[in-house]
Amino acid sequence: MLRAVAERRARMSSSCEPDLFIDGVPCCDQMTAHALAHGGYIRAAGDGAAELTPAGRAALAITLAA
């Protein structure tokens, strides 16, 4: 999910339980999407796109280095 957000392929609703859409399709694991949003790894940008926060970029860098 973090990779898709980093690649600008994700959109995110701005509700209290934000839903994530990747390539226009609802993400199949909305519980994880909610956890990433509430944990401060992803957020909705002004245009409805999803974007990584600094914490999200750091987490992605760790997974890519492994």
Q: What is the pLDDT of residues 7-54, one digit of tens each?
A: 999 999 888 888 999 999 999 999 999 999 999 999 999 888 999 999
- DSSP one-letter code for 15: S
Query: What's the alpha-carbon Rg for the chain, to the nearest Å?
Result: 11
- In this predicted structure, what is the pLDDT of residue 52? 97
How deeply is 12 buried, as exposed, middle or buried, from its count of CB atoms within 10 A (0-12, 13-18, 19+)? buried
**Which residue has better confidence, 45 or 66?**
45
- In this predicted structure, what is the pLDDT of residue 14? 81
23 phi-psi bin (left φ>0, alpha ψ -120 to 50, beta other): left
CA dihedral 54, 11, 18, 63 (to 10 degrees): -40
- Given a cut of 80, whether residue 66 has pLDDT beyond it is no
The three-state secondary structure class of 8 is: coil
Q: pTM, whole model, 2 decimals?
A: 0.88
